[in-house]
């Protein structure tokens, strides 16, 4: 959904994580014939976004930065250094954001489109997906069409799947700071800051997505992405 304000909204892409579950220890954003990072950049560029801010880090930081330059030569690149927590790393981009921004995790692919307007201060990408994909992400529970609760790695009944795409206002930085997370924290993340925002009265909307959503976590996910790419080029 291309909107008139797309080009003025920056897209922050954290793309510095590694995954032992892939079995390679390499950066998930760099794997496959078409790296997930390239998919993410191209998805938002095709929707009018022109300003990208990429957060890199870890032992593959220089390699990731080079890939960023290949896909988005004008992107601002931030090295998170020793910070491993997603929410804390996001704070490094706070001075580059005036108000609204998109947060698109560099290992989460959207193959389809958002069918809800994302002209909101706070929104979370949601979709209906498979049980396996749902378990890898987080559950989004609504009340009167507003997000009320986020549950990481859900084990309960299938519900709306929270995606790696968020539509945020810079006020989120205040909620992250209020969590007082150490840079090495891994158990409490962005969902904690969003839950704090909900508790503080922020109106967080579900932004519905139709299509295929893949959080690249396991080798089978990489294979699935490559199959989708092959099918799209026939």
pLDDT of residue 30: 66
What does pTM read for this prediction? 0.91
CATH architecture of residue range(s) 6-232: Alpha-Beta Complex (3.90)
- Report the C-alpha dihedral over residues 11, 15, 19, 25, rounded to 10 degrees: 160
Average pLDDT score over the chain: 87
Q: How far apart are CA 121 and CA 119, in angstroms?
A: 7
Q: Is the pLDDT of residue 147 over 70?
A: yes
34 close to 225: Cβ distance less than 8 angstroms: yes
**Tell me, what DSSP letter sits at residue 188?**
S
Residues 6+ apart with CB under 8 A from 17: 27, 28, 29, 58, 106, 107
pLDDT band at 74 (very low <50, low <70, confident <90, very high): very high
State the pLDDT confidence band at 29, using cuts at 50, 70 and 90. low
pLDDT(65) > 80: yes
What sign has the CA pseudo-torsion 81, 84, 85, 90?
A: positive
Chain-centre distance for alpha carbon 161: 13
Q: pLDDT tens-digit profile of 199-221?
A: 999 999 999 999 999 999 888 88
Q: What pLDDT was estimated at residue 134?
A: 95
């Amino acid at each position: 959904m291309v909107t008139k304000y797309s080009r003025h909204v920056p897209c922050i892409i954290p793309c510095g994580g590694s995954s032992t579950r892939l079995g390679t220890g390499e950066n998930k954003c760099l794997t496959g014939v078409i790296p997930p990072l390239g998919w993410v950049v191209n998805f938002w560029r095709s929707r009018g976004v022109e300003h990208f801010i990429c957060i890199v880090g870890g032992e593959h930081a220089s390699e990731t930065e080079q890939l960023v330059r290949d896909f988005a030569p004008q992107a601002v690149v931030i090295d998170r250094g020793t910070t491993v927590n997603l929410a804390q790393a996001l704070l490094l981009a706070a001075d580059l954001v005036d108000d609204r921004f998109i947060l698109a995790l560099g290992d989460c692919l959207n193959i389809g489109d958002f069918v809800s307007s994302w002209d909101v201060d706070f929104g979370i990408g949601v979709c209906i997906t498979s049980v396996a994909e749902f378990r890898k992400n987080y559950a989004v529970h609504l009340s009167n069409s507003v997000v009320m609760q986020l549950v990481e790695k859900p084990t309960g009944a299938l519900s709306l799947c929270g995606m790696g795409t968020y539509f945020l206002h810079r006020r989120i930085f205040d909620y992250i700071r209020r969590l007082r997370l150490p840079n090495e924290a891994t158990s409490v993340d962005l969902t904690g800051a969003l839950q704090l925002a909900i508790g503080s009265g922020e109106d967080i909307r579900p932004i519905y997505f139709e299509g295929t959503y893949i959080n690249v976590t396991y080798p089978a996910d990489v294979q699935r992405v490559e199959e989708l790419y092959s099918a799209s080029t026939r």
